[in-house]
Structure 1
Amino acid sequence: MSEMVSISTLDGENSFNAYVARPQGTPRAAIVVIQEIFGVNAGIRRKCDKLAEDGYLAVAPDLFWQFEDGIELDPDIEAEMGKALDLFGKFDQDQGVRDIEAAIKYARSQGCAKVGAVGYCLGGRLAYMTAARTDSDASVGYYAVGIDNLLREKHAIANPLMLHIPTEDGFVDKATQKAMHDGLGDHPKVKLHDYEGLDHGFATEFGKRRSEEAAQLADSRTSAFFAEHLG
């Protein structure tokens, strides 16, 4: 069962929408699904639905409410990709993490003692920030961008974090990948997985970017990670 819900910001001065997919019966835990630069589109909603099928309460907050409600973009359409990159440049990431924290609080209010987070692209970066700045019980980032300039926050990562890193990521160069390995490789709470020859977006649900074999491998690792740390 899925629905749109309204979640209050942490300061109580605004609210934003979130797509919520509920499992049959009592959820085993909850997972906040963090959007790419394309909004809470069909692919992100499908990620939520699949998590619900696996027994989780899945919550995807509309982080682009900063601009307008309900933005949905398609990366395979050039003009929409351009708009997405423009929004990324304007997006207040600190506010985004606060909104993710509000979504975590919402998930706990639904009776879930443990709440994790998984994010993609921009959401992968935000998943790292979520691990460092919130009480998320376990976090996963796919093809996270710009982690090299967030390594100063690694000391604050208290709960498990997994990052999926495609080695030919057009948005994450080799120097950034090396910085991630050098900075996080020996962190006791962090697990890194490289995907040789893969590009950004390889685990998207729909569209040209998906690599089926690699997506299934990464998703199986994510599933096992959440089963271990969330139940």
Structure 2
Amino acid sequence: MGQWIKLKASDGHEFDAWRAAPAGTPKGAVVVIQEIFGVNAHIRDVAEGYAAEGYLAIAPAIYDRIEPGLECGYTPEEIAKAREWRAACDLDKVLLDIEAAVDEASKAGKVGMVGYCWGGSLVYISCCRMGDKVAAGSGYYGGQIMPHITEEVKAPLILHFGENDKSIPLQDVRNIAESHPEVGVHLYKDTGHGFNCDHRADYHAENARVARELTLKHFAEHVDA
């Protein structure tokens, strides 16, 4: 079972992070980046899942710059509230917190990153801007990649999208694939947004399993000691 720890960003900001450790010596580390809903029960479960696979998993609470402990579920009211939290964030400062999590995770070896929704976009950006620290990334249904499409991807990256995602146009997915042929872009049939999350209506068990297997294979190639 994981626990909350304190991390400090390079600008001095202190924040919480969920840390889940494997039973034995880690074969590497995975930084888990939240959806817009904070480091909630789902994201903590994801971190526990990667710890069970032998990785030290750390999920930084990047909303702590707004207010400590912000997290919620997936009702319409909570979604509206979470969108307000995300809109209040400063990307450059969010990246400082992610970098601090990567630095902490690197004590266990090479660092992979996985992120969902907003976190999927943050994985893409991190693989562009922290390629010297991130060994590999896997981003799920990131809808904010297009504003950063011209940035150079400097770490091995795979991305996952649902073809029925109402918030991410298929043309955006095609543009990402065409602009970055070095990135593995996976499109899942009969699948909407949030398909990895078993707390959401769009959860798709089979495609979540496939995407996770692809992610674990990606990490085995680039992260494992």
TM-score for both structures, normalised by structure 1: 0.93
Q: Which of 191, 212, 215 in structure 2 is aligned with 1:219?
A: 212
Contact 2:31 2:58 in 1 (8 A): yes
Cα shift at 1:206: 2.3
8 Å CA contact 1:146, 1:176 repeated in 2: no
Task: Check the 8 A contact 1:47/1:205 in 2, yes or no.
Answer: no
**Paired residues for 1:139-218 under 5 Å:** 139-153=137-151, 155=152, 157-184=153-180, 186-187=181-182, 190-218=183-211
- Offset of 1:139 from its aligned partner? 0.6
Distance 1:172 1:92 in 2: 22
Instruction: Name whichever of 210-219 and 81-90 sits farther off.
Output: 81-90
1:83-135 alpha-carbon deviations (Å, 9 max, x no partner): 01122222212211221111011112xx3220111000000000001101112
Work out the CA distance in 1 between the residues paired with 2:28 and 2:147: 31
Aligned to 1:4: 4
**Unmatched runs of 5 consecutive residues or more in structure 1:** none
Superposed CA offset, 1:150-187 (max 9, x none): 1111x2x2220010011121211122122112211x22
The answer on 1:118 being equivalent to 2:114 is yes
Let me know the Cα RMSD of the aligned residues: 1.2
The equivalent of 2:73 in structure 1 is 74
Contact 2:27–2:109 (CA<8 Å) still a contact in 1?
Answer: no
**One-letter amino acid of the structure 2 residue matched with residue 207 of structure 1:** R
Alignment of 1:51-62 (within 5 A): 51-62=50-61
Match of 1:93? 91
Q: Which amino acid aligns with 1:171?
A: S
Aligned partners of 1:46 and 1:205 also within 8 Å: no
Answering whether residue 31 of structure 2 is matched by residue 32 of structure 1, we say yes
Matched, 1:130 2:126: yes
Do the aligned partners of 2:34 and 2:118 also contact (CA within 8 Å) in 1?
yes
Q: 2-side partners of 1:205 and 1:21: how far apart?
A: 20
How many percent of aligned residue pairs carry the same amino acid?
Answer: 36
- Paired residues, number: 222
Question: What one-letter code is carried by the residue in structure 2 that aligns with 1:166?
Answer: G
* 1:205–1:57 CA distance, 2 compared to 1 (3 A): farther
